[in-house]
């Protein structure tokens, strides 16, 4: 017999309490405890010695049934998923409102010829989705659509249609009839995800679940949600019309890959050559501009750094930085002052990474130094030069990881010289000349001799 009991569940962290309190004892948020009915099943299966023996296996001794991966028509999605969607897996896609989650998955459904896809939306009407589908390219005869919020309808539709792929837009609108709390509550989200996981495994269909995020950037709902699912993807926009898709969890592949799209009037278009986007002054000699190969996941991406140093007319000089950590800029300015003798105390300094991109990779330090020095001396950097190295407080230039791949991308785009740490292992390519520098003073001497 199932026993029912009233408990209080925190809508932020999922903490369960027997008594209501204003503040959650676990995550210390106010007014997050909600009344819920807890159903306890009595008489669960008890393991006996005979049935447990059958479930113990030696790893590696089993027949290797290769996982079935469905390669999607979206090259960027394949890249982040590690080669395609694994049958029977549950993929959570999170991101800010309006970022393009629904567009991404509707587009996938339209382009994926030969697969039966069910798009289950609790957010938009048939009319709205039809209008959007008309703007996107691709027509799939086997793409089905339902507007509903009931989990039972979804389950019945999956049993009826037997789709290969299901899209649920969004988990916050889905509702299980037997769970009393409202859609979007911790209990509903957890129970619906649990039921979906089981259904996906039983029916061997892959399920994409869209999840809203909170203002702190986490997927709304219980923390356990991300532990339950197989893959967690985040859709993000550190750039104007560019969208980045990254995985923070992947049971079937790495989490280092990044997919890049551009949002256009006709939906999301994969960006195959991201380096081309972020470099403005290609092949020109400009003062205060330096190029650096950074990494987005495992992909080298060339970015351009612009610096402007000018006479300050106020007591405290301005330091403004876009896309680069301002504390790190202050450190690099101090290094230039101390080790290269540049007088920056009465100068305004502006630093900008073109394309609106934010970079957290210290390997661009050397390019920042080069751009700053170029603006200070009012002398351009020779055409075809790129810089890759981390700069330390003593002015030394440190090696960066994957220098060979970075140099490869630079040479592919026609750059001739890569300045890097003299301590890094040799970058031997016949297309690009590698110039090792020990410290920032040596770099400044070399480029502005």
Give contact residues for Mg ion (rule: CB under 5 A).
102
Q: Which of 14, 88, 100, 297 touches ligand TYD (CB under 6 A)?
A: 100
**Residue 102 Cβ, how far from Mg ion at the closest point, in Å?**
3
Other Cβ atoms less than 10 A from the Cβ of 65: the count is 6
For residues 194 and 133, what is the distance between their CA atoms, to the nearest angstrom? 30
**Residue 241 Cβ, how far from ligand TYD at the closest point, in Å?**
8
**Residue 55 Cβ, how far from ligand TYD at the closest point, in Å?**
41
**Residue 116 Cβ, how far from ligand TYD at the closest point, in Å?**
22
Length of the chain: 449
Q: How much of the chain is helix, strand and coil, in % rounded to 5?
A: 30, 30, 40
Out of ligand TYD, Mg ion, none, what residue 266 binds, judged by CB under 5 to 8 A for its kind, is: ligand TYD
Whichever of 168 and 349 has its CB closer to ligand TYD, that residue is: 168
Whichever of 92 and 336 has its CB closer to ligand TYD, that residue is: 92
Where helices occur in 26-141 by DSSP H, the ranges are 49-54, 75-81, 101-111, 126-135
Q: Which of 90, 118, 87 is nearest to 233 (CA)?
A: 90
Residue count, binding to ligand TYD (CB under 6 A)? 14
Whichever of 33 and 104 has its CB closer to Mg ion, that residue is: 104
Residue 158 — φ and ψ, nearest 5°? -65, -40
Whichever of 235 and 387 has its CB closer to ligand TYD, that residue is: 235
Contacting range for ligand TYD; rule: CB under 6 A; set: 84-92, 112-120, 265-273, 345-353 = 265-273
Whichever of 102 and 172 has its CB closer to Mg ion, that residue is: 102
CA distances from residue 444 to 78, 142, 372, 440 in whole angstroms, order as listed: 43, 62, 10, 6
Out of ligand TYD, Mg ion, none, what residue 114 binds, judged by CB under 5 to 8 A for its kind, is: none
Out of ligand TYD, Mg ion, none, what residue 345 binds, judged by CB under 5 to 8 A for its kind, is: none
Whichever of 122 and 274 has its CB closer to Mg ion, that residue is: 122
For residues 306 and 141, what is the distance between their CA atoms, to the nearest angstrom? 49
Q: Is 211 in the site for ligand TYD (CB under 6 A)?
A: no
Instruction: Specify the DSSP class assigned to residue 218.
Output: S
**Residue 129 Cβ, how far from ligand TYD at the closest point, in Å?**
10
Q: Is 98 in the site for ligand TYD (CB under 6 A)?
A: yes
CA torsion 47-50-52-53 (nearest 10°) is 170
Q: Which two tokens stand for residue 316?
A: 């405290």
**Residue 189 Cβ, how far from Mg ion at the closest point, in Å?**
17
For residues 197 and 117, what is the distance between their CA atoms, to the nearest angstrom? 17
Contacting range for ligand TYD; rule: CB under 6 A; set: 47-55, 65-73, 258-266, 326-334 = 258-266
For the sheet containing 16-17, what is the strand order? 16-17, 2-10, 33-41
Q: Which of 82, 94, 163, 267 touches ligand TYD (CB under 6 A)?
A: 267
Whichever of 102 and 385 has its CB closer to Mg ion, that residue is: 102
Out of Mg ion, ligand TYD, none, what residue 274 binds, judged by CB under 5 to 8 A for its kind, is: none
Write the binding mask 111 to 140 for ligand TYD: x where contact by CB under 6 A, - elsewhere.
Answer: ---------------------x--x-----
Contacting range for ligand TYD; rule: CB under 6 A; set: 93-101, 406-414, 418-426, 430-438 = 93-101
Q: Are the beta carbons of 170 and 122 closer than 8 angstroms?
A: yes
For residues 263 and 237, what is the distance between their CA atoms, to the nearest angstrom? 10
Residue with tokens 């800029």: 329
Whichever of 209 and 359 has its CB closer to Mg ion, that residue is: 209
Whichever of 102 and 175 has its CB closer to Mg ion, that residue is: 102
The DSSP-derived string for 247-258 is EEEETTS-S--E
Q: Which of 387, 366, 372, 352 is nearest to 280 (CA)?
A: 352
The residue ranges that bind ligand TYD (CB under 6 A) are 95, 97-103, 132, 135, 263, 265-267
């Amino acid at each position: 017999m199932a026993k029912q009991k009233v408990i209080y569940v925190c809508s932020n962290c999922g903490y369960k309490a027997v008594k209501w309190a204003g503040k959650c004892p676990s995550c210390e948020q106010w007014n997050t405890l909600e009344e819920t009915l807890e159903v306890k099943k009595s008489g669960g299966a008890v393991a006996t010695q005979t049935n447990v023996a059958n479930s113990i296996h030696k790893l590696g001794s089993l027949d290797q049934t290769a996982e079935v991966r469905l390669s999607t028509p979206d090259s960027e999605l394949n890249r982040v998923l590690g080669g395609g969607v694994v049958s029977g897996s549950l993929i959570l896609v999170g991101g800010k409102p309006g970022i393009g989650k629904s567009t991404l998955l509707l587009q996938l459904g339209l382009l994926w010829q030969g697969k039966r896809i069910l798009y289950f939306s609790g957010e938009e009407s048939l009319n709205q989705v039809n209008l959007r589908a008309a703007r996107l390219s691709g027509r799939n005869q086997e793409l089905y659509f339902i507007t509903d919020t009931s989990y039972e309808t979804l389950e019945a539709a999956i049993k009826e249609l037997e789709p290969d792929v299901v899209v649920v837009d969004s988990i916050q609108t889905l509702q299980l009839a037997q769970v009393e709390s409202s859609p979007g509550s911790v209990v509903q989200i957890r129970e619906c995800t649990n039921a979906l996981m089981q259904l996906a495994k039983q029916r061997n269909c892959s399920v994409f679940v869209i999840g809203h995020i909170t203002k702190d950037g986490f997927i709304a709902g219980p923390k356990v949600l991300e532990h339950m699912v197989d893959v967690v993807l985040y859709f993000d926009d550190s750039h104007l019309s560019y969208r980045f898709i990254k995985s923070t969890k992947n049971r079937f592949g790495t989490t280092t890959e990044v997919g890049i799209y551009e949002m256009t009037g006709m939906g999301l278009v994969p960006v195959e050559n991201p380096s081309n986007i972020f470099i403005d002054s290609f092949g020109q000699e400009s003062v205060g501009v330096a190029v650096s190969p950074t990494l987005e996941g495992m992909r080298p991406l060339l970015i351009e750094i612009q610096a402007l140093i000018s006479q300050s007319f106020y007591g405290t000089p301005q330091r403004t930085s876009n896309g680069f950590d301002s504390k790190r800029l202050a450190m690099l300015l101090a290094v230039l002052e101390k080790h290269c003798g540049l007088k920056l105390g009465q100068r305004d300094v502006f630093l900008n990474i073109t394309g609106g991109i934010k970079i957290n990779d210290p390997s661009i330090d050397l390019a920042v130094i080069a751009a700053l020095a170029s603006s200070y001396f009012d002398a351009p950097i020779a055409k075809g030069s790129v810089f890759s190295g981390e700069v330390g407080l003593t002015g030394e230039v440190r090696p960066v990881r994957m220098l060979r791949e970075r140099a490869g991308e630079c040479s592919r785009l026609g750059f001739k010289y890569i300045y890097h740490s003299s301590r890094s292992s040799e970058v031997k390519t016949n297309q690009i000349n590698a110039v090792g520098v020990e410290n920032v003073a040596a770099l400044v001497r070399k480029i502005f001799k």
